[in-house]
């Protein structure tokens, strides 16, 4: 006991004099100091959440990108922050604008960049149909079909869902949008005999379909396309890791839960099934 006290007293003294020397060094010159007691290995993802512009803030696993290193998320969930605070994600070689990420419900709202230009409902060159990646996301069941470069046909002017888009592939500029579910609202596909240059499919929300059935105008179509659609994603169980103070990392091709040094019961930092 006696010896212990003596030991503590002398180590306290040592620490105090060390701190004094350190303060001195810090005051006198601008030396870089690293406090080595932190377990850096276990909390550098949680301090590097993804933030870009006003729409996308504080985003964690499974997303990564920009300052957030690849091991802080899963492959396929890379976000890009462009100038002006615009967030993009690439899915099956196509770029999408990210309009929102609801981490609580694990839903991301995206739209094709092409629909954000001046001729909102028209296509940029090289645009092809939206190819989903079902490994990464759940897509809404409802789709809107868009036909471009359609020739005029008898009665085409009575279609409330007809709009206009120029393309340098054909001189036909008529375009149509439709969805089976909208037939009851008098919104129909052009007749099968009408050969359009291109047909693409875009996932849509039920809200969007309702808006179109109430007002089938091109303005509504543009607004609906610009508002995008929701895809669901999974965080592979990261929530269970985080609720006990662990940090999610992608390691050895799966989610790995890292324990910060402050969590002493290591079994708390685990993911079901690992
Ligand atoms: C974050 O952790 C990784 C490995 O887990 C390490 O290589 C890297 O140096 C750490 N970065 C920082 C800024 O601590
Ligand atoms: C990053 O996000 C995680 C998960 O939502 C959260 O626990 C953590 O506090 C965030 N980090 C910062 C610095 O906000
Ligand atoms: C990030 O989100 C977490 C909760 O998910 C919250 O505790 C933290 O304060 C947020 N950080 C910022 C910088 O908004
Ligand atoms: C879907 O995403 C996974 C994970 O990034 C990737 O391995 C796969 O190639 C993607 N599928 C397609 C069709 O691009
Ligand atoms: C169509 O026009 C764009 C420029 O507006 C051009 O880049 C593209 O090569 C043209 N496509 C064809 C097939 O001529
Ligand atoms: C650690 O946490 C697990 C899971 O909650 C619990 O079953 C176990 O008793 C804890 N161990 C200690 C030493 O507290």
CB of 200 closer than 6 angstroms to any ligand 6 atom: no
- Listed by start position, the domains of the chain span 119-133+140-227
pLDDT at 28 over 60: no
Burial class (CB in 10 A: 0-12, 13-18, 19+), 108: buried
Q: Indicate if the pLDDT at residue 25 is higher than 70.
A: no
Report the DSSP beta bridge partners of residue 95: 90
Pull the structure tokens for residue 99. Answer: 């309009």
Mean pLDDT of 156-172: 92
pLDDT at residue 43 in the model: 60
Helix (H) or strand (E) holding 51: strand 50-52
| Pocket flag, ligand 6, residue 158 (CB < 6 Å) | no
Residue-wise pLDDT tens digits, 65-113: 999 999 999 999 999 999 999 999 999 988 999 999 999 999 999 998 8
- Note the pLDDT of residue 127: 67
pLDDT of 8 > 60? The answer is no
- Output the pLDDT for position 271: 62
Three-class SS state of 68: strand
pTM above 0.85, yes or no: no
Count the alpha carbons within 13 Å of 173 in the hemisphere toward its beta carbon. 6
Q: How is residue 40 annotated by DSSP?
A: G
**pLDDT for the residue numbered 125:** 62
In ligand 4, the atom with minimum distance to the C-alpha of 91 is 14
**Between 261 and 213, whose confidence is greater?**
213
Whether the CB of 47 sits within 6 Å of ligand 1: no
**Is the beta carbon of 46 within 6 A of some atom in ligand 1?**
no
Structure tokens at 84: 């002006």
The structure tokens 């006990």 sit at: 244
How many angstroms separate the alpha carbon of residue 266 from the centre of ligand 6? Answer: 8
Q: Is 264 in the pocket of ligand 6 (CB under 6 A)?
A: no
Residue nearest atom 14 in ligand 6 by C-alpha distance: 265
The arithmetic mean of pLDDT across residues 128-139, rounded, is 90
pLDDT surpassing 50 at residue 274: no
Q: Please tell me if the CB atom of residue 169 comes closer than 6 angstroms to any atom of ligand 1.
A: no
Q: CA 113 to CA 94: how far, in whole Å?
A: 9
Answer yes or no: is pLDDT of 181 > 80.
yes
What is the per-residue DSSP string for 225-259? HHH-EEEE---TTHHHHHTTT-EEEEETTEEEEEP
Q: Give the atom of ligand 5 at the shortest distance from the alpha carbon of 169.
A: 13
Please report the pLDDT score of residue 3 as a whole number: 40
> Can you give the pLDDT at residue 10?
43
Q: Is 90 in the pocket of ligand 1 (CB under 6 A)?
A: no
Burial 43-52 (b: 16+ CB within 10 A, else e): bbbbeebbbb
- Under the banding of pLDDT at 50, 70 and 90, the label for residue 5 is very low
How large is the average pLDDT for residues 202-223?
94
Predicted confidence (pLDDT) at residue 223 exceeds the cutoff of 50: yes
Relative to beta strand 143-150, strand 174-178 is antiparallel
Please report the pLDDT score of residue 13 as a whole number: 40
Most confident of 222-226, 241-245, 250-254: 222-226
User: Which ligand 2 atom minimizes the distance to the CA of 103?
Assistant: 5
Pocket of ligand 5 (CB under 6 A): 125, 168
- Top pLDDT among 156 and 43 is at 156
- Six-digit token pair at 196? 């359009």
Residue range 1-9: average pLDDT? 42
Average pLDDT rounded to a whole number, residues 215-244: 91
Report the C-alpha dihedral over residues 73, 76, 78, 79, rounded to 10 degrees: -120
């Amino acid at each position: 006991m006696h010896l212990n006290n003596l030991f503590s007293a002398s180590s306290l003294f040592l620490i105090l004099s060390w701190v004094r020397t350190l303060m001195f060094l810090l005051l006198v010159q601008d030396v870089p100091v690293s406090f080595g007691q932190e377990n850096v290995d276990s909390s550098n993802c949680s301090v590097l959440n993804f933030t870009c512009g006003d729409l996308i803030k504080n985003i964690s696993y499974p997303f990564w990108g920009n300052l957030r290193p690849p091991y802080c998320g899963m492959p396929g969930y890379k976000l890009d922050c462009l100038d002006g605070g615009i967030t993009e994600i690439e899915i099956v070689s196509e770029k999408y604008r990210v309009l929102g990420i609801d981490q609580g419900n694990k839903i991301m709202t995206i739209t094709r960049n092409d629909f954000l230009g001046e001729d909102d409902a028209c296509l940029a060159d090289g645009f092809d149909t939206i190819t989903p990646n079902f490994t990464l996301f759940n897509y809404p069941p409802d789709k809107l079909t868009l036909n471009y470069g359609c020739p005029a046909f008898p009665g085409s002017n009575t279609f409330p869902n007809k709009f206009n888009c120029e393309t340098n592939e054909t001189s036909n500029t008529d375009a149509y949008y439709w969805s089976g579910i909208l037939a009851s609202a008098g919104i129909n596909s052009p007749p099968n005999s009408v050969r359009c240059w291109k047909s693409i499919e875009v996932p849509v929300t039920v809200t969007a379909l309702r808006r179109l059935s109430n007002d089938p105008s091109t303005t509504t179509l543009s607004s609906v396309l610009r508002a995008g659609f929701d895809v669901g994603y999974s965080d592979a169980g990261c929530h269970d890791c985080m609720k006990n103070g662990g940090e999610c990392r992608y390691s050895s091709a799966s989610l790995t839960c890292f324990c910060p040094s402050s969590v002493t019961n290591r079994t708390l930092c685990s993911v079901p099934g690992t």
